[in-house]
Structure 1
Amino acid sequence: MPSTQQQIDHGVVVDAGYETVFDLVADVGRWPQFHLSAVHAEVLHSNEKGDLIQHWALDGDSTVRTWRTVRRSDRAGRRITFSYMDADPPDTEVRGEWVFTELAPDRTRVELRHTIEGPARADLGPLLDGIGLDGKEHLDTLRDTAERRAELDDLVVSFTDPLFIAGSVEDAYEYLYRADLWPERIPHVVGLDLTEDVPNVQFFDMDTKSPDGTTHSVRSVRICLPPNLIVYKQISLPAVLDAHTGHWRFTETREGVVAESRHSSTIKPSAVSQLGGGTVDGARRYLRRLLSGHSMTNLRLTKTFAEERAGLRPGTDR
């Protein structure tokens, strides 16, 4: 069958060292914190052919698209190659590479190249347009993140809070999956409107009340991977944050389950003066105290729910 081949190239010069830039591209798990449309990515398995990665990304503010790539990292050769699986339209192959050229100790040229090959009669226009836009946005994110790395080390607050639950992983997962019931179950949640048009992909608008009595409204997307992981990203944010991502992770043990809350929040530089006395350290402490307080409340309520389901009364061990 006759085929056609197209190539899309993008490039950018980044004022950062090669290792810094390479690491940012290689660590797909960090992209949701810095890249606007990225929601989640995880390595499904690795072998001699490379890493099989599942990606989830926003398409607008109410849809998520997902796809898989096979990726190989060659640090010595200063390139990362990838190929898409199950590209759309059918019978279309999409492959590409990131190429890194060290111009100076703190200056790197990055090229992102895509090659698209498909049937001659296929309409590749929408695919080419999407790849072109995504490529430019990815390089813009990469440059901004790499060049602000020192500032972001101060502004990004990341931490986890774990709690042991003497119950089943299914019950613990269910409590936090059913976000539509949070206004009835969780004191600081005063309103929540949830949609789940695609199974296990949730969008919701939530109103929460802070200890000072103020109410905040946020819109979030969640990728639910039962029964072990719920990943979220806020897509409309409080005025003091540039990003907020995290997860609920559930790890089974012989005794029960460890439920973990993770937050990664990027403080807006202009908001530092409004938080914790006006210093970066004060802002970090304030934000961690607030977020940890909310997540630990949620985990303790989850613990009570799952342990009661298991037949345990609060304050007992049998």
Structure 2
Amino acid sequence: MTDNPRTETEHETVVRAPADTVYALIADVTTWPQTFPPTVHAEVLERDGDSELIRLWATANATAKTWTSRRAHDPAHRTVTFRQERSQHPVGTMGGAWIVEPLSAHTCRVRLLHDFTAATDDPADLDWIQQAVDRNSASELAALTSAAEAAGTDELLTFDDTVTVEGSGKDVYDFLNEAQLWKERLPHVARVTLDEDEPGLQILEMDTLTKDGSRHTTRSVRVCAAATSIVYKQIVLPALMTLHTGRWSIEDLDDGRIAVTSRHTVRINTDNIAAVLGADATVETARTFVRTALSGNSLATLHLAKTHAEDLAAGRKRP
């Protein structure tokens, strides 16, 4: 426990949506990657009534961080309080609350409170935390407003692609995890950089080639669970998307093979459809275009991972 002084902050916004709708978005942390830009991945580790222990992976000041928090829900008063149990440097302690206050049947105020201390007495650490809290709070409140006000009309596009492999799941995982090698391994990747300051938490940037020869730069944060899954969220997106999250998952099948699945969840950027696809393009045109492009790249990667793993398996069987 740090003895450094505690700082308290408060950010708020007014949302043109019922308080219960807003509270539901805050309470269900598993939807946060689709709601809040800083959140990459979220898991509920424990739940006991209105108390839960969660783990979050998120960006803060353009860096990737992970921590665990204990949250207490009070549905009657529409509040969720939180306290980090395991923080990451430079944070010493961090806690706060989400408070949703009805203003009318269709409008509410959301207050986001934080209190925190730095892990050291270096003023730069406290300044880093203050900037991260201010930026993320503003981003989260704006996104919460958009999500709540669009409730029932905002459609996400989710789809899967799967291949079966007669080989080792670890070999497939290694192929997907070692993205720094993708320029040599994947024909649609023109440039790639991979940073992994903490094991299992990666920042991947790459230039991807499309069939017409154009190049798109993306930047993703990836959460890697050894030999089972890689969850990611793009934080620099192509023009046709405002959201792109994904998961590579590896599952053992009863017949001894493994199933490898790529899942994408996308929100279309409707403001850019005409500029990218032409004046006559519709939302459905954009959804089809995005799905075709992402599935094409995913299946190419999956089939190359399959070949890689099966070649290694065959090599191990040779006398």
TM-score, normalization by structure 2: 0.83
> What CA RMSD, in Å, does the superposition of the two structures yield over aligned residues?
3.2
Secondary structure at the aligned position of 2:154 is classed as helix
Partner amino acid, structure 1, of 2:261: E
Secondary structure at the aligned position of 1:297 is classed as helix
CA gap of 1:11–1:279, structure 2 versus 1, over 3 A, is same
CA gap of 1:60–1:79, structure 2 versus 1, over 3 A, is closer
Match of 1:136 among 129, 135, 138: 138
Give the equivalent residue in structure 1 for 2:296.
Answer: 293
Cα distance in 2 between the residues matched to 1:132 and 1:59: 10
Q: CA deviation at 1:185?
A: 2.0
Partner amino acid, structure 1, of 2:148: A
Q: How does 1:130-169 map to 2 (within 5 A)?
A: 130-150=132-152, 152-153=154-155, 156-169=156-169
Q: CA deviation at 1:7?
A: 3.8
8 Å CA contact 1:89–1:122 kept in 2: the answer is: no
Secondary structure at the aligned position of 2:314 is classed as coil
Q: How does 1:55-66 map to 2 (within 5 A)?
A: 55-61=56-62, 63-66=63-66
130-139 or 233-242, which moves further after superposition? 130-139
Pair 1:94 & 2:127 matched? no
Secondary structure at the aligned position of 1:152 is classed as coil
Q: CA deviation at 1:161?
A: 2.1
Cα distance in 1 between the residues matched to 2:118 and 2:209: 52
Give the equivalent residue in structure 1 for 2:55.
Answer: 54
For residues 94-136 of structure 1, what are the alpha-carbon distances to aligned partners after superposition, in whole Å with 9 as ceiling and x for unaligned? 33222222333321222222345799x8979444554344333
8 Å CA contact 1:222–1:232 kept in 2: the answer is: yes
Secondary structure at the aligned position of 1:287 is classed as helix
CA gap of 1:212–1:130, structure 2 versus 1, over 3 A, is closer
Pair 1:211 & 2:211 matched? yes
8 Å CA contact 1:207–1:217 kept in 2: the answer is: yes
8 Å CA contact 2:69–2:86 kept in 1: the answer is: no
Cα distance in 2 between the residues matched to 1:4 and 1:60: 22
Q: Which runs of 5+ in 2 are unaligned?
A: none
Give the equivalent residue in structure 2 for 1:275.
Answer: 277
Percent of aligned pairs with the same residue? 36
TM-score, normalization by structure 1: 0.83
Secondary structure at the aligned position of 1:110 is classed as strand
8 Å CA contact 2:37–2:140 kept in 1: the answer is: no
Q: Which runs of 5+ in 1 are unaligned?
A: 313-318
8 Å CA contact 1:245–1:265 kept in 2: the answer is: yes
Give the equivalent residue in structure 2 for 1:249.
Answer: 249
Partner amino acid, structure 1, of 2:171: D
Partner amino acid, structure 1, of 2:139: E
CA gap of 1:148–1:173, structure 2 versus 1, over 3 A, is same
CA gap of 1:271–1:231, structure 2 versus 1, over 3 A, is same
Partner amino acid, structure 2, of 1:299: L
Cα distance in 1 between the residues matched to 2:40 and 2:234: 9
8 Å CA contact 2:54–2:70 kept in 1: the answer is: yes
Partner amino acid, structure 2, of 1:149: A
8 Å CA contact 1:33–1:243 kept in 2: the answer is: yes
Q: How does 1:93-112 map to 2 (within 5 A)?
A: 93-112=93-112
Secondary structure at the aligned position of 1:149 is classed as coil
Give the equivalent residue in structure 1 for 2:199.
Answer: 199
8 Å CA contact 2:60–2:132 kept in 1: the answer is: no
CA gap of 1:84–1:288, structure 2 versus 1, over 3 A, is same
Q: How does 1:110-129 map to 2 (within 5 A)?
A: 110-116=110-116, 125-126=126-127, 127-128=129-130
Secondary structure at the aligned position of 2:187 is classed as coil
8 Å CA contact 1:34–1:243 kept in 2: the answer is: no
8-17 or 45-54, which moves further after superposition? 45-54
Secondary structure at the aligned position of 2:239 is classed as coil
Q: CA deviation at 1:168?
A: 2.3
Give the equivalent residue in structure 2 for 1:266.
Answer: 267
Secondary structure at the aligned position of 1:310 is classed as helix
For residues 229-250 of structure 1, what are the alpha-carbon distances to aligned partners after superposition, in whole Å with 9 as ceiling and x for unaligned? 2122222222222232212122
